[in-house]
Amino acid sequence: MAKEIHLQTPLKDEDLEKLNIGDKVLITGTVYTARDAAHKRLVDLIEAGKELPFDIKGQIIYFVGPAPARPGMPIGSAGPTTSYRMDSYSPILLDEGLKGMIGKGPRSKEVINSMIKNKGVYFAAIGGAAVVMAQSIKAAKVIAYEDLGTEAIRELKVENLPCIVANDVYGNDLFDEGVKKYRK
């Protein structure tokens, strides 16, 4: 892997303009969790013209439904879920100011175009490396939709959360490029 870059949330355009696909990043600050069910509720709020449960500007959403925390731990195992299931919602959130998403698997053309338009970045985390990811999560608090259980929105405090830049603000796609290189 190429260079290692430290990122602090909330993200600024100039931070993101420096990133290229394949870069290894370590994210520190606040990230918000949301999966399918929470995305649907967030988008319903936007469509109804209502306020979101957190200020989304400059923020990162991590597609994860963590395992429960053991006593004394901030969180249980917390690896990424598959991102394509959020593809129909993400452009709407990017339009609202969302800057980063963490998940696994490729994104649709629509999401990639929205990332170019809104200067957003998609970070790939390693699916199944859920204990490794949990080591970087120092605190977790449910801030909305507690009824959804693991799918509730959590505010995470993270330190050096390891990810790889999969889609940059220039429309490049590591999934596309990587596979092309090793196809026989």
Partner 1 sequence: MREIDVNKIIPIVKKLCIDASIYIGDDVVEKLKEFQEKEESPIAKEIISIIFENQRLSVEKQMPLCQDTGVAVFFIELGQDVHLVGGDFYKAINEGVRQGYKEGYLRKSMVDDPIIERKNTKDNTPALIYLDIVQGDKIKITLAAKGGGSENMSEVKMMKAADGIEGVIDFVVDRVKRSGGNPCPPIIVGVGLGGNFEQSALLAKKSLLRPLNEKHPDPKWAKVEEEILEKVNNLGIGPQGLGGRTTAIAVQILAKPCHIASMPVAVNIQCHVHRHKSAVI
Annotated catalytic residues are 39
What tokens does 105 get? 């698997």
Instruction: Find the binder of partner 1 among 79, 91, 100, 120 (CB under 8 A).
Output: 79
Tell me which of 4, 95, 159, 177 binds partner 1, using CB under 8 A.
177
Output DSSP code: residue 51: P
State the binding string over 90-129 for partner 1 (x if CB under 8 A, else -).
--------------xxx-----------------x-xxxx
State whether residue 139 is helix, strand or coil: strand
Q: How far is it, in rounded angstroms, from Cα 35 to Cα 95? A: 18
The least distance separating partner 1 from the CB of residue 153, rounded to whole angstroms, comes to: 15
Among 78, 115, 121, 153, binds partner 1 (CB under 8 A): 78
Q: Which of 9, 81, 90, 167 binds partner 1 (CB under 8 A)?
A: 81
Quote the CA–CA distance of 65 and 59 in Å, as a whole number: 18
Alpha carbon 91 to chain centroid, angstroms: 13
Integer-rounded Cα radius of gyration of the chain: 15
Q: Backbone phi, then psi, for 164, in 5-degree steps?
A: -120, 135
- What is the size of the binding site for partner 1 (CB under 8 A)? 46
| Cα torsion 69, 70, 73, 79: sign | negative
**Per CB under 8 A, 139 contacts partner 1:** no
DSSP conformation class of 150: G
Among 54, 96, 164, 172, binds partner 1 (CB under 8 A): 164
Residues lying near partner 1 in the complex (CB under 8 A): 1, 22, 37, 64-70, 76-79, 81-82, 84, 104-106, 124, 126-132, 134-135, 148-151, 164, 166, 174-175, 177-184
